[in-house]
Chains A and B, each alone.
Chain A
Amino acid sequence: MELSPFYQELLTSLNRGLIMSIALIVPSVIGGVVIGVLAGTLRTFGNTITRRATDAYAAVFRGTPLVVQLFILYFGLPNLGIYLSPYVAAVTGFTLCSGAYQSEYVRGALQSIKRGQYLGAQALGFTTFQSIYWIIVPQAIRRAIHGCGNEIIYLIKYSSLAFIVTCVELTGEGKTIATEYFRFTEVFTIIGLYYLGLVTVAIFILKKIEQRLYIPGFGHG
């Protein structure tokens, strides 16, 4: 079956956009998790100053829309003479926003670990580092993985905002063609399927990881 020229053009563009989307998502996920672990740890164990600072960071980025954050980075910063490329602005915005949400899950996981776990390790002669590395971290990962995974799913979907700061990814490529041919229904249905594919693959991988880490009676709640 031969595809019509319209669909050929559409799929070529969308595949190009898909690659850009993935190039946005992967570093943002990694950056978000790293920042989330750091900020979440500081929010739990930091001194008053670092705790307040990281709490404020999380409250601001969780309390404002991602699109506002992107606009400030891309359209706002030039007022101060700072110019970011569309790609850098998008990845920076995604990373900072995602990190704020991730820190929430990391903090929740760390707080949910009972003090007795640490005490038990100390009583056996573990050093502080050993207690954290062998007892606290493995438990915290299992408690946080579900929430952090959900946040990654959100991030995949919100990567669609990059086109608003002119970083042309999946949605941006599609919008160009949809506008040109005025065929919004077909184009955006197909884009929707692309995202469903991405999200479904991510959910599958995350579920596999969760299963591998599963321990009877050790919930993520």
Chain B
Amino acid sequence: MTDSTPILSVNDISKSFDGNIILNSVSFQLATGEIKVLIGPSGGGKSTLLQCMNCLVIPDSGDIMLENRQIDYLNKESLYNLRQQVGMIFQDFNLFDHLTALDNITIALRKVKKCDRKQAEQRARQELEQVGLADKEGLYPAQLSGGQKQRVAIARALAMDPKILMLDEPTSALDPELIGEVIAVIKALAEKGMTMVMATHQISLISGLADEILFMENGRIVEQGSPSKLLSTGNISKSQGFCDRLNELAEVGE
């Protein structure tokens, strides 16, 4: 499915907070339809990298290019524009607590995309249907389970017709029995050819979906390659060791 022109490229970006280097000249390119999975130890910079890619965090240096256009960090319009085209799923959902599931989806359509209410609601219902929550549109975030919240968050991002979807540990805040429903939604998206960058510890997402694995440690990409290459038996790689440990944990959990 992968097509060779990069839709998004990250060129040499670095970021420090309070003198701590979080990202140290990271570069990679994302092709349309490609799925990249970020793995590695916590604090390795995965989350910051994702937030830099839609400029929720502005890099100290380096460029972000969306469809060969460079993002001007100082131009707010260009940032708003970038974020509309790059959807983001957070670990802790960040649903708007004062809005129903339906309105969580319509509000950005109405305020950012300037759709009228009717259109927005129609679109929102379609998206809720896609994630299997058509009957929950009137409920508020506090009335939804974690898995349902994350599915609403995904529907909310998809309603904006993003060219890329970024997922920051989408299943980490969920109880084990709720992870499956979210994974199913993500897999369905992959089948439809959605371009995605995902940080995750979920072994089935890593080995089953990734076109390429990026292993991050100390703010750098230290390993990069297809799962078949990095995770093949007998191959000694950091990714391999990391996934082995995840597997062990999963078995202990069961």
Do A and B share a direct contact in the complex (Cβ within 8 angstroms)?
yes
Residues of chain A at the chain B interface (Cβ within 8 Å): 116-117, 119-128, 130, 134-135, 138-139, 142, 215-218
Asked if A217 meets B142 with Cβ closer than 8 Å, knowing A122-B56, A126-B108, A134-B111, the reply is: yes
Asked if A120 meets B143 with Cβ closer than 8 Å, knowing A125-B160, A134-B111, the reply is: no
CB distance from B138 to the nearest CB of A (A): 10
Cβ A215 vs Cβ B108 within 8 A: no
Residues of chain B at the chain A interface (Cβ within 8 Å): 54, 56, 76, 80-81, 83-84, 87-88, 90, 92-98, 107-108, 111-112, 139-143, 156-157, 160
Query: Can you list 30 A-B contacts (CB < 8 A)?
Result: A116-B90, A117-B97, A120-B94, A120-B96, A123-B56, A123-B83, A123-B88, A123-B157, A124-B83, A124-B156, A125-B80, A125-B83, A125-B84, A125-B108, A125-B112, A125-B160, A126-B80, A126-B112, A127-B76, A130-B112, A134-B111, A135-B98, A139-B96, A142-B98, A215-B140, A216-B142, A216-B143, A217-B141, A217-B143, A218-B140
What is the CA–CA distance of A139 and B94 in the complex, to the nearest angstrom? 13
Closest to A219 in B: B142
CB-defined contacts of B108 to chain A, threshold 8 Å: 121, 124-126
Number of CB contacts from chain A to chain B under 8 A: 75
Asked if A116 meets B94 with Cβ closer than 8 Å, knowing A123-B54, A125-B108, A126-B108, the reply is: yes
Cβ B92 vs Cβ A116 within 8 A: yes
Asked if A139 meets B97 with Cβ closer than 8 Å, knowing A119-B90, A122-B83, the reply is: yes
CB-defined contacts of B81 to chain A, threshold 8 Å: 125
Cβ B112 vs Cβ A124 within 8 A: yes
CB-defined contacts of A124 to chain B, threshold 8 Å: 83-84, 108, 112, 156-157, 160
CB-defined contacts of A128 to chain B, threshold 8 Å: 76
CB distance from A174 to the nearest CB of B (A): 44
What is the CA–CA distance of A123 and B160 in the complex, to the nearest angstrom? 11
Q: Which of A120, A122, A134 has the most CB of B within 10 A?
A: A120
CB distance from A184 to the nearest CB of B (A): 50
CB-defined contacts of A127 to chain B, threshold 8 Å: 76, 80
Q: Which of B81, B97, B141 has the most CB of A within 10 A?
A: B97
What is the CA–CA distance of A126 and B113 in the complex, to the nearest angstrom? 10
CB-defined contacts of B56 to chain A, threshold 8 Å: 119, 122-123
Which of B87, B94, B111, B140 sits near A117, CB closer than 8 Å?
Answer: B94
What is the CA–CA distance of A122 and B90 in the complex, to the nearest angstrom? 12
What is the CA–CA distance of A123 and B154 in the complex, to the nearest angstrom? 12
Cβ B92 vs Cβ A218 within 8 A: no
Q: Which of A123, A130, A135 has the most CB of B within 10 A?
A: A123
CB-defined contacts of B112 to chain A, threshold 8 Å: 124-126, 130
Q: Which of B92, B95, B96, B98 has the most CB of A within 10 A?
A: B98
CB-defined contacts of A120 to chain B, threshold 8 Å: 90, 94-96
What is the CA–CA distance of A182 and B139 in the complex, to the nearest angstrom? 62
CB-defined contacts of B83 to chain A, threshold 8 Å: 122-125
CB-defined contacts of B80 to chain A, threshold 8 Å: 125-127
CB-defined contacts of B94 to chain A, threshold 8 Å: 116-117, 119-120, 123
What is the CA–CA distance of A130 and B141 in the complex, to the nearest angstrom? 21
What is the CA–CA distance of A210 and B104 in the complex, to the nearest angstrom? 22
The 5 closest A-B pairs by CB, nearest first: A217-B142, A120-B94, A125-B84, A123-B88, A116-B94
CB distance from A116 to the nearest CB of B (A): 4
Cβ B160 vs Cβ A215 within 8 A: no
